[in-house]
Amino acid sequence: MLQRRIESTTPPSAVHPLPARTGTRLRCTGIENSLLAAVPRETYRRLAAGLQPVVLRFGEILYEPGDAIDHVYFPGASLVSLLTLADGHLALEVGLIGREGVVGIPLVLGHPVSPVRALVQASGTALRMPAADFLREFRLSLPLQRELYRYTYALMAQISQTAACNRFHVVEKRLARWLLMTHDRVQSDQFRMTHEFLAHMLGVRRVGVTNAAHRLQQRKLIAYRRGHIAVLDRQGLETAACDCYQAQRS
């Protein structure tokens, strides 16, 4: 069942300590989110005062379409899907956000309301920040603006490529692409995922996902059992995926 419960793990003051300085920028070591790791030390220090560590749980909804964006989330080990809805109940994934980005990007473009459902796809850590604090830091920091605009462009490109992929490519290739994107972000060979959930992500019937996953498993590219997927052959999975995967990486 989809839930909205989000658990805080430690008080805000215990947010990731600053790692050793390298020039004017941070090392990624010690900061799970690479967008945050890319900003200068002083920028991160100001942001850290408003960042709260939380645990995002599989199936939680962070926003629904039309919801006010009251917090932004910088995923660490967690993964968040952006889904567009049709007829009030049909959902299709149009974007995927992990440690490379931030959930709540409409705020950067001046829109305080979410146009999509933001659904936690993989449980894990994240850093949460009130929207008002985020916008204040965004307006004050040119380096933060540059990183966020760069990421906004990358997310827009991903959404555009995903739309084309969903229209033109067969389910097996789309599933391979989606598994690779998830694998990149969770940085683990194993993750939890049911066929029903995958069907929602890809906008197809459950039987279509079951058949596609079975074919990938027959080729010994993945192993699937009781809602858990293991990537066995990363290179083979890249070969099985459509060209959209490489296009989104470039």
Give CA 55 to chain center in angstroms.
14
pLDDT for the residue 82: 95
Q: Say yes or no: 143 and 186 in one domain.
A: no
Out of 149, 164, 179, pick the residue that ends a domain.
164
What digits encode the pLDDT tens for the residues 108-151?
A: 999 999 999 999 999 999 999 999 999 999 999 999 999 999 99
Domain check: are 107 and 144 in the same one?
yes
How many Cα atoms are found within 13 Å in the side-chain-facing hemisphere of 7? Answer: 8
Alpha helices in 32-108 (DSSP H): 34-38, 41-48
66 shares its domain with 118? yes
- Residue numbers of the domain that contains 100: 7-164
Residue 2 lies in a domain: no
The verdict on 201 and 140 lying in the same domain is: no
- Order the strands of the 52-56 sheet from edge to edge: 7-8, 52-56, 124-130, 71-75
Interval 30-74: pLDDT, tens: 789 999 999 999 999 999 999 999 999 999 999 999 999 999 999
Question: Which residue's structure tokens are 């950067």?
Answer: 108
Q: Are residues 116 and 205 part of one domain?
A: no
Residues 223 and 157 in one domain: no
The reply to whether 69 and 140 lie within a common domain is yes
The answer to whether 131 touches 71, Cβ cutoff 8 Å, is yes
Give, to the nearest 10 degrees, the angle between helix 171-186 and helix 142-168. Answer: 160
Q: What's this model's pTM, rounded to 2 decimal places?
A: 0.83
- The full DSSP string for 210-244 is HHHHHHHHHTTSEEEETTEEEES-HHHHHHHS-TH
Cα torsion angle, 3, 172, 175, 65, sign? negative
